[in-house]
Structure 1
Amino acid sequence: MWSKSRNLLCFLALWLTLIPKDTWAQGSNQAIEVSGTIQASDTGESLPGVNILIKGTTTGTATDLDGNFTLRVPSPDAVLIFSFIGYNQVERRVGNTTSFNITLEPDQDSLSEVVVVGYGTQARATVTSAISSISSETIRELPVPNLASAIQGRAPGVNVTNAGAPGTNPVVRIRGIGTVGNNDPLYVIDGVPAGGLNQINTADIESIEVLKDASAAAIYGSRAANGVILVTTKKGQVGKPVVTVDSYVGTQSAWRQLDLLNTQQYLDFGRDLLTNGGEPVPQRFDNLGDLANVNTDWQGEMFRPATIQDHNVGISGGNESVIYNVSVGYFGQEGIMRGTDFERFSFRSNTEFKISDRVKVGQTLTIAYSNRNVEPFTGGRTQLEHMVKSVPYIPVRDESRLGGFRSPDRVDGSDPENPVLNAELRTNRQQEYKILGTAYGSATFDWTLS
């Protein structure tokens, strides 16, 4: 009896050794093929092109023209994600199910959203042209100084290049460059073509629509050849007065600086350069005199921590006879480089009066003032060029000289200007005033013709 049992155990051990290891995992990790049909709940029709993705992976498929799909999943624990534009996303665990009949519900929020299209408004579900929309909530997510910067990275097909200096208008290109001349898009603010984007307070914007295709030319003509950016400002709503206060203060700094030579490194480099070139070395290189202990960091003198701040106060409300939205704002931004800054004061008033059940009149008004300190360009050279070329053993200030500043002499073999002198004494300020207003009226007539 014991001999037979021993032989049986040996045979079982040998069988367990020879059997492939992955056979044990087939019961729980065996791939499963699932299939199914997807249809819309509102029409009952099958949906082609629905995305089916295994959650947590990049494996998936899409439905065919009849709304059918087939997909191989790794295990019963896999979760399938069904998604389609304009419909709510659905998730289903595979489990023991191999055939799925999925019904997708329309996303009412996205389909009922109203979009400004140039000649009025439309529900997003009925829009057929190429339009990108940006809401006021999205605009205020980041501290942006102007309208063009609010579009940056938020509208597909729109390229925004920021010059960097406070108060400068970014370069906006919609779907690339279309001409060798002016490629700027047309800006329309509350129905009126306008410029001066730095004078528009981003806190007053309700929405931005970017018209990118040729249909915009049917409304605005050849001016829309480079695209159209429609700006709608905030209006009042019927209800109790609502006071809003929006304010922030932050700092900016140069996150990266160039690795420039100090005094000793500059002298060693200068001697080697001139000697190898067969040029005489300036006498000052061997005897700096009163400049011997000077080691000026020109980038440290020019770059600074800069504040950026935005403060807005508004009141809106209305009743059956009048609705209103009034706001005042201040925006200030110091440049990270000395001699550059920008500030803006703005006032906006949007009102609408209901004269009778058939007649309405209203107005929009913007009053703004901006003051910008522009980087000085002397001799066709930028301040950064002066910083890079400035000699480290020359001090920034010298009380014995006119104006109190020191600059390189001819004996130094260098001709940059003192950038700190340019920033403090050679100021270039641009002041702009903007008044933009519209007035409108509407009347409804109920005529019966016979």
Structure 2
Amino acid sequence: MGEEQKSEHRFLFRQPRALQWFEGGRLMKRQEGERQAGRFELFLDLLYVALLSNFADTLTEDISGAKLAKYILILAPSWHVWSDLRELMNSFYNDDLLQRVLILWVMAVLVVYGNNAPLVDEEIGAMRSTVAAYMVARVSCNLAHLLYSFASYHHRLQQRLWVGASTLTLCLYIPLYFESVSMRGKIAAAAVAVSVEEMLWVFCYSPAAKKLLRTKYSTAVDIPHEVDRFAAFYIIALGEFLYLIIVGSNAAIGLNLRLMRAIWTLIIAFCLNWLYTHADCAVKCTHPLRNSVYTAFSWALIHLPLIASLLAGGHVAAASVAEEEFEDPQRWLLCGGLGAGMMCLYIFALLHGSSDHGENLILPKPFRLAMRPITAIIIVLLPLAHHLDATEILSIIMALFVFCVIWETVTSLRKGAHFWEKWEETQYPEKRVANGDAEAEADNGQTSP
């Protein structure tokens, strides 16, 4: 929108222009400065709050291996749609009428998807509606990419490769329309399709594709915007920890064990946000998107299992406010989800490039991060302690997360760091102000009343 603000002309439909690209291996940007997520991108995220909550609620109603597979297979496609729009807005955001209508249209289609996806194993109509909604959403984004490839040459070859490959991959979902195909066959087809889509995304935007296409101009991402969008989706997943500890007023009245579990759930979510923000605890670090091609793709891909794990575990943790005891499936989902999420956060931190070799931190990176995998393993094994009730399990998990946060915060300080900074210059500089005012008045030929 920077160009539009400088221009005297306004347009309902603006020419899509690449915001950044590589030209002969050199990064080029149309505008300098950091770009944050647009208002309509954030509006899209609001719908995902409801989508993710609905998916997690469906899983926790009847926890089983089949339900877990369904949960993953309905969550991943919704993530792909969100990624499509993120990719488009990162490269071509101009906030014109076409982009706003596209977001609204995709959101409308996602309403169909979100309402039908939890019922795919119960009604063939729900299965068909879900698959059709997903295909329409992906094709809509692909058509936008195709249109933009005519308006801007900077990403043209890779855009068209992606449009062709991803559209063909949608054919893998066709068996899900047929009632004659068994549920096992449909699960297998969906799993293959989701996996192929992930691999295609990596390939189409990788250096291998650029080399294959012999491109002079190739895709690049606005890193601050990309980081901002992924962080926003992570916050949506953490919202699942907080929603049920308030809705329904299950922790009323006064001080009680339900309230304690609600507070413990809040602290766990707060620690997870802290660990994500803290990354690898380094004073100087290189973000995975800047570090290398391998760390960049790994960083993006790790978010799906990270969010899926925390979403499931967070829903059970929050639901414990209304329940006195955990059944075995709930125990395993809670501990497995939070443990897997913590392990993903460990990998997430390892992907950051640390440059603190000469900074004399209290502990080097491997030891600073050591509590993440240790905490993950302990949490995953907690369900084996059958004598623990819901309050005790949540108390142990909360204590482990808090200890991990304290450990990383303290060990990432420089050697000789002080606990408390001395407060200085807390008084108003009255003499200096008075003298300054007197001098100013004398210069202006004025006197104080």
Q: Same fold (TM over 0.5)?
A: no
Q: TM-score of the superposition, structure 1-length normalised? A: 0.22
Q: TM-score of the superposition, structure 2-length normalised? A: 0.22
Q: Give the structure with the larger strand fraction.
A: 1
Bigger Rg, which one: 1
